[in-house]
Structure 1
Amino acid sequence: MKKYIIGFWYSLPVQLFILHFRKYQILLLFWYILFATVAGYFMDSFGAYSLFLAPEYFDKVSPFSAAIVGFAIGIFIMSWNITTFILNARYIKFLATTAAPFLKYCINNAILPLIFLVFYFIRGLQFSQQQQLQSLGESLLTALGFTGGLFLSILLAFVYFFSADKTIYYTIKQGIAEANKRYNAIINKDALPLTKLEMRVDWFLSASFKLRRPRDIRHYNESFLDDVFSKHHISAVIAILIAFIFLIVLGFSADSRLFQIPAAASISILFAILIAVSGAVSLFFKSWSIPLIIVIYLILNYLYQIGVIDPRNKAYGLNYDNKAQRPLYDASSIRQLCSDSAMEADKAYYLNILNKWKAKQKEEKPIMYIINTSGGGLRSAVFTMNTLQKIDSALHGQLMQHTLFINGASGGLLGAAYFRELYYQTRLGNKNINLYNPAYVDDIAKDLLNPLFSSFVTRDIIGPVQKFNYEGFEYIKDRGYAFEEKLNENTHGYLNKNIYAYAKPEANATIPIMFFNATISRDARSMIMATHPARFLMRPLSDSAHLTSYDADGIDFNSYFKRQNSDSLRVLSALRMNATFPIVLPNVWLPSKPIIDVMDAGLRDNFGQELTLRFLNVFKDWLQENTQKVIVIELRDRSIDDWENPYDNTSLLSLLTKPLLILQYNWYRFQDYYQHNSLDYFAESYGPHFYSLSFQYLASKTDAAATLNFHLTAAEKKSVMNAFYNKANLNALQVLLKQSNLR
């Protein structure tokens, strides 16, 4: 038994497995990311696991999409083998004296890849049935597709290296023959001197998976053995270069759906390249690796500072070229922008809209609806779209006509903007639109994460800069561009217009006004984007004695960037700025002096309530005089009473990190507490004819809550749509119908 245990321990597969953890931990980081992602622990809030477990190609999960991911993971595995083969050459020199040494190395280095593949298959089968709602047969077919792609990738790699091995073996055949002669001559005279082995190997697996003892190589010339490995190194570099060129080609062709491969495939190929580069840096620069990385960073930073490279994302439609006319971003300029006279001028404009809105209601004191929708990725977009369809149907198609404006943050505004546009199409006479068609919910539920991550890999990181023109200006194609193009495709091009296209219908009260919001990262002020100037929303009203003049905590985009063609801002860009979730989407920088950039509106106000209450407070007198009641309809992607997800200390690490992360975990709760308090104060000051109703996405007891990202599984989509029928929402609907005099 001891002999077998020792033999197992000193076998090449086990020794290589241990060697990776002992010598090259940095390379194991890529494996950790893959394992953690598939397990649902790495970037789970961004939905990274769904990219691997439910890869989409042409908007559906299929055996072919799985095959593409399998092929890419095969490339990653071969890159791992190639890189470690080069790095571990001095430990496995005996393989240089055998036929097809790289093949034998891959067989003996298969423990880690096999563990990952088994884990991936188990997780994939579970996910496809539980989250994608596939049958066992469909799940197995998807797994078969992945397996086919994986084997094809590895087969092609081995065919390539078999060809290289033949060439290498032909060139070294004479060297092996001379070494054997030298061995016979030495062994007849005296025993070969003992040498200290860097890694003991008693057994290794041959190409036919049989146990073999390593060949004695003490009689081989060191330079000869090194030459064998160096020839394999050249073949390996060529293989990695091909993968790099492939990603560049994908970046250039990403506008074509044919080349929009699943994001998991792009990420796997990127990891394959990074692992090869990491290995090369470790091999050639050794202790100089970190200083080299620092020097490269300093060079890139200098090129960025002098404007040679500029990866920053822009708002499409804005003029970034007229640098001399960029507005100042300082206290004096902002105070001037929201002067009393400017605020009064904009208030007068909106009063005109209010009067037109009232005239269209054809009653002395109509009911006014205000719609607030929360952030929350696609789960909020789907919940908003589905809920607006249900509410409008219950109100006999009167919801949009009685709604003055729509406001909110992030994903919720994606759904609301699409619903409003479809309503506008019906007003234009488009008879192909059935506002309650569930296909529109399917549209807004379509994946946005795959093209976003795929573009991040092939364009933002690898590919050279590509540009496009919009409204006469040139912009860079990056993951922000990919997001907009995919959203445009999902919504059938209806939102592909600039915000000025809504100026006339909003001014005539044909459709509700929409406020697109964002948060300025410099100072957390809100950026208020609307078709018409709304400078009266930039700062709170002064106190009752008019003794205090508050500083502006918001910027009116339309007025501030007037010289930069603010009216030409693309609606899709406004929605993206509103939904710029950190890291996933790039911050959008704006042409001011100094430059500012904006990100997700939810960081400042995830429910849109702050701006809504400010608007209602400004026009409170008009509303009390001209409306029967004002009803704020709030669409939330989370419960008001969130007792189910407390921030508990479950480990020593969580105890140590709690002071750092408590704000992140409780961010939305802080907003809730503050806004409920503000809502109570406003309701008390307004009087009994103000109502606020909440429709909430609450996962059922049998369903897990949908993740906050730009991808929904089939089970998550079903859960979000069914959430409208929970008891709390049905009660809210009954109250709404009663207050709308329809019950």
Structure 2
Amino acid sequence: MKQFLQLIFYSFPMQLLLLNIRKNKVLLAFWLILFGIVTQQIGRIFGISYLFLDPEYVNQVGFGSLFIMGLAIGGFTMAFHISCYILDSRKFVFLGSLRRPITRFCINNSPIPFVFVLVYLLCFVRFQLRNELLSVADVLWQASGLVLGFVTMILVIFYYLVLTNRDLFKTLASQLGRGFKRRRMNRVNVMLRINDAKKDLIRVDTYFESLIRVRKVNPTAPYENRVILKMFDQNYLNAIVMEIVVVASVLVLGFFRDNPVFQIPAGASLVLLFTIVVMLRGAVSYWLKGWSVTIGFLLLFVVNYLVANDYFRADYEAYGLNYGGKKAEYSMANLRTPDGPERYEADKEHTVGILSRWRAGFPADRPPKMVFVCTSGGGQRAAVWTMRTLQYADSALEGRLMRHTRLMTGASGGLVGASFFRELCLRKNRGDSIRVYDDRFLTDVARDNLNAIVFSLVVNDIFFRFQKFTYQGRSYHKDRGYAFEEQLNKNTDGMLDKPLSDYYEPERQALIPMLIMAPTVINDGRKLFISPQPVSYMTIPGTVPQRVLGTAPSFYSGSFRYPSIQGIEFGHFFAEQDAHRLRFLSALRMSATFPYITPNVQLPSEPAMEIMDAGLSDNFGISDAVRFLHVFKDWIAQNTSGVVFVCIRDTPKNPAIAKNVSQSLFQKVFTPIGSFYANWEHLQDINNDNSLEFAQTWFRGRIDRVELEYIPHASLLPVDDSTAVVTDAIELDKVRAASLSWHLTGFEKESIRNAILEEHNQRAIRRLQALLKDPMAGENRLQPGK
């Protein structure tokens, strides 16, 4: 037994594995990242695991997308082998006596890549079977693409290595010695490494000559410095060639990024990035030896300094705005303009006109309910849930939901879904032949958007943003913000690709509800209110007494001399920068930024105003709706029978309280931070509940609140329940919570689609039917679209 263990311990694969663990920690870190991604332990909140477990190519997951993933992983594997060979082959001088030494090295250095491919295959098959509604045969066919791609890339690179080994040894052997003599520094560097290697040789008794043949090391084989020198030089050249090929591939993919054929799965582009870094790491470590880490940190600080001083400035712009002219002055003095009270009153009267035109559409003797739709943020999940809920509820109410709705607020993906449904209703109101409840629109919203973003990040944003495009006569860089908007534009059939000002007349004529976006200004935490209508009344506290707003002198006088400026009206503040020409998709992007995925937007002000997700201040849009209600409380109380807050949430409001479990040391350290982040939405819920409860004290009408929640594991109505609005049944075991990402799996889409049938949501629909009951409709039970 001892002899057997000794045989394993001194085998070449085992010694390489131990050496990698001891010495090549940076290279192993990339493997650990890949293991973490495919096992969903890393990047799950960003949906990064979907790039590997559900990779899309030309908008579908199939054999082709997995084949490309296999090619990328095969290339990364060979980059890992070559880097290890450059760094460590000198410790195994017996390689100098072998034919095709790098091939033998790669075979024996394959335990980690082999285990990763195996784990990847298992995770992929399990994920697809659980989440994509596919048969075993279909999943195995897709998995075979991964294996075939991996093997193909390995064989291609091996073939190249065999050719270069043969050519260099036969035709350049005599020239290499003279070349090293001419390049004295190279020769000295390599000779020093050989001398060091003689002092640090690693014992190896056996090695794999092929995948199935094991051979013993010949300890009597002669090792000449000349042979070792050739071995180092030739394979360093191979590494340089591979590096050039990979970088060129990334540049080509970036240049043709708008062609779907060149938009490889984002997971593959991420692996290409890892390949570049691994090969650079190998080359730098080889030449800089022990100084590599020190010089690496120095370069990091240098790059950080250059970025801080705008040498590598990479601003992400909002399309349609003028960045080339005069910048808006971003100061408190400019926020407190002298015309504040007059503008406030004028904007208020303008909106009263919109509300009056809406009121004229109802019988004079029957005051209608006014509906505020508040939809939560949450990426693709929130977009699809909002779209599904609005389609279902409006169909159940035979169009009365949108007819009664006067305001839409929210954040991130929720506003994407609400905007798309509002656009469909606008087209229908204008006479277009369109079925707003058609299931294909829900399918459109559910299309992937993550692949385009990450692909752009890897092939464009990290390296060079040299491509530009023109929008409304102005030039902007193509970056992942552009990728997000273009993919969203495709997903919504181009319906939302219009300037913000295009919605001015439809909103003013009350054809559609007002939609106010309120992303967060990172500079000072204020909200940026984006609307085609003038809405300056949203920017100051709703509790400022009317006497303070009466005249210009009293606006900044008395105890309210400096009323808090809680928001900035986009249209007025950036009027000279053509705020009305802002692309509506850019407005949605500003309201849906997410760290590392969709970048923060810089606006043309001095200093630059940086914008982040609206969910940072209120992920549900309720605070904005309450502020709107307070501004128009008197008009609404006199002209309506009350207000209904329809809150569309992509998370349950009252989740089960988790049990306390034993915590490790690391968990004890990070729990306070993690708990604060995890409970951020709950804190917002408490504030919003307080605001609505307080509103009951100052609003003279009735306030109702109807919540529709995405609760995938809740109980569903039985099919024979006579009170059910619909009689669909689904299997509970197929309903699982969708993740927070810009990508949804097949099961997640079904989970969202069927969550509207949950008992709580069915009660909410019935309550809406009662609140918005049409007096002329009779008592017949409604049948909504499915």
Bin of the TM-score, shorter chain as denominator length = over 0.9
Secondary structure in structure 1 of the residue aligned to 2:518: strand
Query: In the alignment, which residue of structure 2 is the partner of 1:509?
Result: 510
Per-residue deviation at 1:217?
6.6
Question: Are residues 8 and 174 of structure 1, via their aligned partners in 2, closer, same or farther at CA, if it must alter by over 3 Å?
Answer: farther
Identity value in percent: 36
Query: In the alignment, which residue of structure 2 is the partner of 1:659?
Result: 672
Per-residue deviation at 1:45?
0.6
Q: Distance in 2 between matches of 1:507 and 1:204?
A: 79
Secondary structure in structure 1 of the residue aligned to 2:45: helix
Q: Distance in 2 between matches of 1:503 and 1:128?
A: 45
Report Cα offsets for 1:98-121 as digits up to 9, x if no partner. Answer: 111111111101100111111111
Between stretches 40-49 and 195-204, larger displacement belongs to 195-204
Q: Distance in 1 between matches of 2:681 and 2:645?
A: 19
Query: In the alignment, which residue of structure 1 is the partner of 2:390?
Result: 388
Query: In the alignment, which residue of structure 1 is the partner of 2:594?
Result: 581
Between stretches 77-86 and 331-340, larger displacement belongs to 331-340
Report Cα offsets for 1:175-196 as digits up to 9, x if no partner. Answer: 9xxxxxxxxxxxxxxxxxx976
Q: Distance in 2 between matches of 1:338 and 1:707?
A: 47
Per-residue deviation at 1:294?
4.3
Query: In the alignment, which residue of structure 1 is the partner of 2:187?
Result: none
Between stretches 276-285 and 310-319, larger displacement belongs to 276-285
Query: In the alignment, which residue of structure 2 is the partner of 1:231?
Result: 234
Per-residue deviation at 1:360?
2.6
Q: Distance in 2 between matches of 1:505 and 1:340?
A: 27
Per-residue deviation at 1:214?
2.1
Secondary structure in structure 1 of the residue aligned to 2:313: coil
Report Cα offsets for 1:94-146 as digits up to 9, x if no partner. Answer: 21221111111111011001111111111111000001121101110110111
Query: In the alignment, which residue of structure 1 is the partner of 2:26?
Result: 26
> Does the alignment pair 1:377 with 2:390?
no
Q: Distance in 2 between matches of 1:644 and 1:705?
A: 17
Q: How many residues align?
A: 723
Query: In the alignment, which residue of structure 1 is the partner of 2:108?
Result: 108
1:463-478 matched pairs, under 5 angstroms: 463-478=464-479
Residues 338, 536 of structure 1: 8 Å contact kept: no
Secondary structure in structure 2 of the residue aligned to 1:94: helix
Report Cα offsets for 1:511-569 as digits up to 9, x if no partner. Answer: 11111221111121111100012111001134558644531111111110000000011
1:256 corresponds to which of 255, 259, 264: 259
Per-residue deviation at 1:307?
4.6
Q: Which runs of no fewer than 5 residues in structure 2 stay unpaired?
A: 176-196, 549-558, 715-732, 780-786
Q: Distance in 1 between matches of 2:707 and 2:278?
A: 50
Between stretches 703-712 and 194-203, larger displacement belongs to 194-203
AA of the residue aligned to 2:504: A
Q: Distance in 2 between matches of 1:205 and 1:173?
A: 27
Q: Distance in 1 between matches of 2:220 and 2:305?
A: 51
AA of the residue aligned to 1:277: L
Query: In the alignment, which residue of structure 2 is the partner of 1:46?
Result: 46
Q: Which runs of no fewer than 5 residues in structure 1 stay unpaired?
A: 176-193
AA of the residue aligned to 1:733: I
AA of the residue aligned to 1:713: T
Report Cα offsets for 1:61-113 as digits up to 9, x if no partner. Answer: 11111111111111111111111111112112221221111111111011001
Query: In the alignment, which residue of structure 2 is the partner of 1:566?
Result: 579
Between stretches 166-175 and 692-701, larger displacement belongs to 166-175
Per-residue deviation at 1:211?
1.5
Query: In the alignment, which residue of structure 1 is the partner of 2:243?
Result: 240
Between stretches 41-50 and 688-697, larger displacement belongs to 688-697
Query: In the alignment, which residue of structure 1 is the partner of 2:611?
Result: 598
Question: Are residues 645 and 382 of structure 1, via their aligned partners in 2, closer, same or farther at CA, if it must alter by over 3 Å?
Answer: farther
Query: In the alignment, which residue of structure 2 is the partner of 1:416?
Result: 418
Per-residue deviation at 1:719?
0.6
Two-structure CA RMSD over aligned residues (Å):
2.1
Per-residue deviation at 1:389?
0.4
Query: In the alignment, which residue of structure 2 is the partner of 1:182?
Result: none
1:5-24 matched pairs, under 5 angstroms: 5-24=5-24
Question: Are residues 440 and 447 of structure 1, via their aligned partners in 2, closer, same or farther at CA, if it must alter by over 3 Å?
Answer: same
Between stretches 234-243 and 89-98, larger displacement belongs to 89-98
Residues 401, 772 of structure 2: 8 Å contact kept: no
AA of the residue aligned to 1:491: T
Query: In the alignment, which residue of structure 1 is the partner of 2:286?
Result: 283
AA of the residue aligned to 1:309: F
TM-score where L is the length of structure 2 = 0.89
Query: In the alignment, which residue of structure 2 is the partner of 1:673?
Result: 686
Question: Are residues 217 and 686 of structure 1, via their aligned partners in 2, closer, same or farther at CA, if it must alter by over 3 Å?
Answer: farther
Q: Distance in 2 between matches of 1:384 and 1:645?
A: 27
Residues 387, 417 of structure 2: 8 Å contact kept: yes
Residues 338, 552 of structure 1: 8 Å contact kept: no
Query: In the alignment, which residue of structure 1 is the partner of 2:273?
Result: 270
> Does the alignment pair 1:59 with 2:72?
no
AA of the residue aligned to 1:728: H
Query: In the alignment, which residue of structure 2 is the partner of 1:685?
Result: 698
1:313-324 matched pairs, under 5 angstroms: 313-322=316-325
1:708 corresponds to which of 740, 744, 751: 740
TM-score where L is the length of structure 1 = 0.94
> Does the alignment pair 1:552 with 2:565?
yes
Per-residue deviation at 1:207?
2.9
AA of the residue aligned to 1:52: F
Q: Distance in 1 between matches of 2:338 and 2:424?
A: 35
Residues 465, 478 of structure 2: 8 Å contact kept: no
Secondary structure in structure 1 of the residue aligned to 2:645: strand
Residues 577, 599 of structure 1: 8 Å contact kept: yes
AA of the residue aligned to 2:471: Y
AA of the residue aligned to 2:617: R
Per-residue deviation at 1:707?
0.8
Query: In the alignment, which residue of structure 2 is the partner of 1:156?
Result: 156
Query: In the alignment, which residue of structure 2 is the partner of 1:718?
Result: 750
Residues 499, 571 of structure 1: 8 Å contact kept: yes
> Does the alignment pair 1:621 with 2:629?
no
Secondary structure in structure 2 of the residue aligned to 1:396: coil
AA of the residue aligned to 2:687: Y
1:108-507 matched pairs, under 5 angstroms: 108-171=108-171, 198-207=201-210, 209-216=212-219, 219-301=222-304, 303-304=306-307, 307-322=310-325, 325-336=326-337, 339-364=340-365, 365-431=367-433, 433-507=434-508
Q: Distance in 2 between matches of 1:648 and 1:529?
A: 45
Report Cα offsets for 1:568-620 as digits up to 9, x if no partner. Answer: 11011000100001121110011111112001000011000111000000000
